[in-house]
Every structure is written in structure tokens, then in C-alpha cells.
């Protein structure tokens, strides 16, 4: 059923190491590992190395969370488990090209990492009693590879002891399998800074006595909400980078979607998780049309909708429709996904069901009240009742958002529609001065010039 026909959405309350370890220096990237492994083997062809590295990286990104989760759960030591898993990856880069890839890569990596943990325990005399217990335990037990601990690992990385930036970094590192350098590039900070952030996060988790286990049922929902918030932030940064020359970071957005799919697999009965995944898919579907070949921003109304990914749209609509029909509490991600679905179902910008969008923003304002929701609602109100009505809503947000570039950008757009060209151009230029995105700045400057030429 088209989302534009949905009605009767209930208005419900809002949800409320070691100094020389690999984990300190950053994980060994598969391409780096393959290049290192190639040294010393005669006849190692560059193309062969590239193919091996690509295959290994694919396996690593797919299995890293499960491998780390299994080892961390077995020994309940997150930092040491990460070191052991990195050593297992290094061993794979040497042995797999020589002996062939194992039938069960995940099981192989878990077994090797487990043996590294045993070796480490044996070498630490201060842990003799623990060594006797752990070293005699079987490391080839099938349940280690069969059990999926992705949710527990996500929850650990988003432990409430950590700040949100640390939760984001640790999640991408431990669950996403990204290197410290990759994460640092995504958030435009030095690699050393990101490495220190990740190292501090692991220490804080250890100091807090966090265990690798699911929290109690009373805590689980709140912890899952924290994970969702982190994944939402990662996706948002990937969809529209807050700084730098590019509008989007496709790899970062893709990683957020991949991790959210994992969370949805673990919490398939949670409509808000489904709503978050739907929101990401419906938003990601528009990526091919959001910029020109030269990298210039294309507003939603001007996008070539033939370029939108229809498969992602169909999946997103299916997810959010089922979530809203579940009869459970309606959350912010479900409502945002419903708004995105209304846009996605419109064959052209003029076909958008703007009254339905306004109604959904009214719901969102009750579920998650805030100035940014009202800012977006102002645009929808303007499309239904005219630009003056939108400007009236916007004026009520001046105190909260006048320092944000988006407030000035929306104001400039609505002033231009209302025929106030000079004021519109001034607002758009103010927005251009405030934004930290090069792509958005160029778009806003061009829009201001266009208004002045009319």
C-alpha cells in the first residue's frame, strides 16, 4: 500500500592494551597484509596480489565483527581479543595464498585467534590461574563460529561510558572493520588523534568493567537506541559530509547501512530498527541524482528521478510500511522513513503529496520535538499554504537556529519564492558563509547569484 494512503498513525510518547599492540597502532588492513605477505615469495605477481587483497578484504569486512565477537565473548577481554584477531588476519594473508582459502573462513580466523589468545595467556605469568582454566579449554568448538554476537559487539562499542564520538569510532573500527586511517579520513581528523580516541575508548570500557554479554532486558532497549543513534550519525555524515570538498562519503554511508542490516537481523521484531534501515535505504536511493558529473549539488526538486535506485526504494517502503502496521509504538526513525517514502513514491516533484508530508512532520514534532524538525516542517508548510506561511514558521525558529546555515538557506529559498529577491540573495549568501561544506557553499553562492539575475 502506498505510504501516501497511510492514515491513523497513533501519536505516542517519545522514546525517551599493550603499548606495542596492533590495536593501538591500527588494524592491519587486508591490502597491507597481502603486500607484506607477498614479500619473500618469488613470482608474486602484482595483479595476483591485488586480487588476493580484494578477496581477503571482502571476507574481512563480512566476517570481522563475528570473529571479534566470538573471541571477545570467549575470553571477555575486548582489547586482547582485537589483537589476537588482527594476528589471525596477518596469518591468513600468508597461509591462504599458499595453502588455499579454507571452506569456512570465519571458523578458521576464530580458531587461529583463539590459539593466539591461549599463547598470550600462557606467556603472562601474572595470569597463571586463568591460563590453567582457559588453555585447557577446546578452541575448535563449533559453537564459536556458529553463534552470532554482532548485537553484543555493537552494544559494547556503544557503551554508555563512552562519548558519542568515541562510540562512533569504536563501532566503525571493531564492527565495521575499517582501519584507523579510514575512520580518520572520514571525519577529517589526524590518524594519530583517531587512534588515541579508539585507544581511550577501549580503556574506558575496561575500567567500567563492561562484560561481553547482552545487558539485562531492562537495559537492552536503551542500549539498542544508543546503537541506532550512532549508526544514524554515521550514515548522516556519509550522506552529507559536514566538511570538505565532497558532498557525500559513499563508503561511510554504505558501512552504516551494512551495520544497520546486522542490527535489523538481530532485532527483526523491533519496528524502530526497521524504520532506521528504511530511512537509510530510501535516502541512499537518491544518491546517484544528488550531484552532477562535475560534483555540483542538485536539489531534490531538480533531481532526475530516473536515476534513483528503485530496488532500494521498494525495500525501504516495504520495511517502513510493515513497521508502521506493527501496532507498536511509533518512533522517530519510522516517521522520518515515512516522509522519505512519500518523496520516493512521487514520479515527479510536483506529484509529491505535501499535505501528507505536513501531517507526518506534525507526528514527528510530537515524537521528537525540536527546532530542526520544525525547520523541515516549514518547507512542507510552504509547499501547502504558500511561502509566507513557511516563513512564519521559520521566524519562530530564529532564536534557536539563526547561527545555522540551513535556517538561512531555507529562508532564502522561501523569500525567493515570495518575490523578495534582494533579501533572498542576502540570506543565501549568509548560509554560504556559515556552511563548512564546499559543495553546499558553491550551490548557495550560485543560487544567490541566480536570484539576483531574475
443: domain CATH number is 1.25.40.10
For 364-375, give one letter per residue: b (16+ CB within 10 A) or e. Answer: bbebbeeeebbb
Reference 102, options 55, 143, 36, 69; nearest CA is 55
Grid coordinates representing 201?
A: 575508548
Determine, yes or no, domain membership for 79: yes
Domain count of the chain? 2
Residue-by-residue pLDDT tens, the chain, 454 positions = 344 444 333 332 222 232 333 333 344 444 444 443 443 333 444 434 444 566 776 777 677 777 887 887 777 777 777 788 878 877 887 788 877 888 888 888 888 888 888 877 766 544 445 444 444 444 444 444 444 566 778 888 888 888 888 888 888 888 777 778 878 876 768 888 888 888 888 888 888 887 767 777 777 788 888 889 889 988 887 787 655 555 557 777 888 898 899 889 888 999 999 999 999 999 999 999 999 988 899 999 999 999 999 999 999 999 999 999 998 989 999 999 999 999 999 999 999 999 999 999 999 999 999 999 999 999 999 999 999 999 999 999 999 999 999 999 999 999 999 999 999 999 999 999 999 888 899 999 999 999 998 8
Report d(CA 139, CA 74) in Å as an integer: 9
The whole-number pLDDT of residue 206 equals 82
Which of 87, 121, 140 corresponds to the end of one domain?
Answer: 140
Q: Evaluate whether residue 102 is within a structural domain.
A: yes
pLDDT at residue 124, as a whole number: 59
Pairs from 262-267 (Cβ < 8 Å, separation ≥ 24): 262/65, 262/150, 262/151, 262/154, 262/175, 263/150, 263/151, 263/154, 263/224, 263/227, 263/228, 263/231, 265/148, 265/150, 266/148, 266/150, 266/151, 267/151, 267/224
Q: Which of 140, 159, 181 is the last residue of a domain?
A: 140
- Given phi > 0 = left and psi -120 to 50 = alpha, else beta, which region is 377? alpha
pLDDT of residue 443: 95
Among residues 169, 175, 236, 252, the alpha carbon closest in space to that of 204 is found at 169
The residue to which cell 519562530 is assigned: 396
Predicted local confidence at residue 70, as pLDDT: 82
Q: Which residues pair with 297 in a beta bridge?
A: 291
For 6, the 3-state DSSP assignment is coil
- The pTM of the full predicted model, rounded to 2 decimals, is 0.70
Please, is 260 exposed, middle or buried when counting C-beta atoms within 10 Å of its C-beta (0-12, 13-18, 19+)? Answer: buried
Q: Per the domain annotation, does 50 fall within a domain?
A: yes
Residue 83 covered by a domain: yes
Pick from 140, 164, 197: which residue ends a domain? 140
Could you give the CA distance from residue 342 to residue 282 in angstroms, rounded to a whole number?
A: 10
Q: Of all residues in the chain, what percent are helix, strand and coil, respectively (each to 5)?
A: 70, 0, 25
Cα angle 407, 411, 417; round to 5? 150
CA–CA gap between residue 364 and residue 333 (Å, rounded): 9
Residue 28 belongs to a domain: yes
Residues β-bridged to residue 437 = 244
Separation of alpha carbons 90 and 302, rounded Å: 49
Rounded Cα distance between 432 and 361, Å, is 27
Domain membership of residue 314 (yes or no) is: no
Range of the domain at 444: 370-454
Grid cell 544508543 is found at 226
In a domain, 437, yes or no: yes
Q: What is the pLDDT of residue 54?
A: 65
Closest CA to 137 of 115, 152, 153, 164: 115
Distances (CA, A) of 221 to 15, 131, 215: 10, 36, 9
Instruction: Identify whether 411 is part of a domain.
Output: yes
User: Which grid coordinates are listed for 409?
Assistant: 538557506
Amino acid at each position: 500500500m502506498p505510504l501516501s494512503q497511510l492514515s491513523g498513525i497513533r501519536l505516542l510518547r517519545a522514546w525517551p592494551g599493550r603499548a606495542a599492540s596492533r590495536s593501538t597502532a591500527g588494524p592491519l588492513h587486508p591490502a597491507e597484509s597481502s603486500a607484506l605477505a607477498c614479500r619473500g615469495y618469488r613470482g608474486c605477481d602484482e595483479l595476483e596480489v591485488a586480487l588476493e587483497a580484494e578477496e581477503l578484504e571482502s571476507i574481512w569486512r563480512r566476517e570481522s565483527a563475528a570473529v571479534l565477537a566470538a573471541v571477545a565473548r570467549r575470553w571477555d577481554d575486548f582489547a586482547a581479543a582485537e589483537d589476537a584477531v588482527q594476528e589471525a588476519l596477518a596469518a591468513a594473508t600468508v597461509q591462504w595464498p599458499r595453502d588455499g582459502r579454507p571452506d569456512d573462513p570465519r571458523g578458521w580466523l576464530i580458531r587461529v585467534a583463539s590459539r593466539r589468545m591461549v599463547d598470550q595467556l600462557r606467556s603472562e605469568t601474572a595470569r597463571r590461574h586463568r591460563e590453567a582454566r582457559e588453555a585447557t579449554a577446546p578452541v575448535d568448538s563449533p559453537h564459536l563460529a556458529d553463534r552470532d554476537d554482532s548485537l553484543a559487539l555493537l552494544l559494547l562499542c556503544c557503551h554508555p561510558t563512552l562519548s558519542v564520538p568515541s562510540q562512533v569510532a569504536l563501532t566503525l573500527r571493531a564492527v565495521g572493520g575499517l582501519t584507523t586511517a579510514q575512520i580518520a579520513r572520514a571525519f577529517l581528523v589526524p590518524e594519530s588523534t583517531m587512534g588515541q580516541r579508539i585507544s581511550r575508548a577501549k580503556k574506558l570500557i575496561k575500567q567500567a568493567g563492561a562484560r561481553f554479554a547482552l545487558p539485562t532486558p531492562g537495559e537492552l532497549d536503551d542500549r539498542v537506541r544508543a546503537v541506532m543513534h550512532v549508526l544514524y550519525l554515521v550514515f548522516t555524515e556519509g550522506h552529507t559530509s559536514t566538511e570538505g570538498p565532497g558532498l557525500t562519503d559513499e563508503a561511510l554511508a554504505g558501512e552504516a547501512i551494512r551495520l544497520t542490516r546486522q542490527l535489523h537481523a538481530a532485532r527483526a521484531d523491533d519496528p524502530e530498527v526497521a524504520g532506521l534501515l528504511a530511512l537509510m535505504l530510501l535516502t541512499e536511493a537518491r544518491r546517484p541524482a544528488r550531484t552532477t558529473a562535475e560534483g555540483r549539488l542538485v536539489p531534490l526538486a531538480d533531481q532526475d528521478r530516473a536515476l534513483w535506485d528503485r530496488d532500494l526504494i521498494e525495500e525501504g517502503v516495504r520495511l517502513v510500511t510493515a513497521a508502521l502496521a506493527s501496532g507498536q509504538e511509533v518512533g522517530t526513525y519510522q516517521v522520518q522513513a515515512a516522509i522519505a517514502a512519500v518523496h520516493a513514491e512521487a514520479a515527479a516533484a510536483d506529484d509529491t503529496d505535501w499535505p501528507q508530508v505536513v501531517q507526518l512532520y506534525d507526528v514527528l514534532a510530537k515524537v521528537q520535538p525540536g527546532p530542526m524538525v520544525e525547520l523541515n516542517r516549514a518547507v512542507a508548510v510552504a509547499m501547502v499554504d504558500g511561502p509566507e506561511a513557511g516563513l512564519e514558521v521559520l521566524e519562530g525558529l530564529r532564536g534557536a537556529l539563526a547561527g545555522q546555515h540551513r535556517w538561512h538557506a531555507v529562508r532564502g529559498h522561501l523569500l525567493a519564492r515570495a518575490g523578495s529577491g534582494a533579501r533572498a540573495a542576502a540570506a543565501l549568501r549568509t548560509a554560504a558563509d556559515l556552511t563548512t561544506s564546499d559543495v553546499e557553499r558553491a550551490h548557495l553562492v550560485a543560487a544567490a547569484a541566480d536570484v539576483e539575475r531574475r
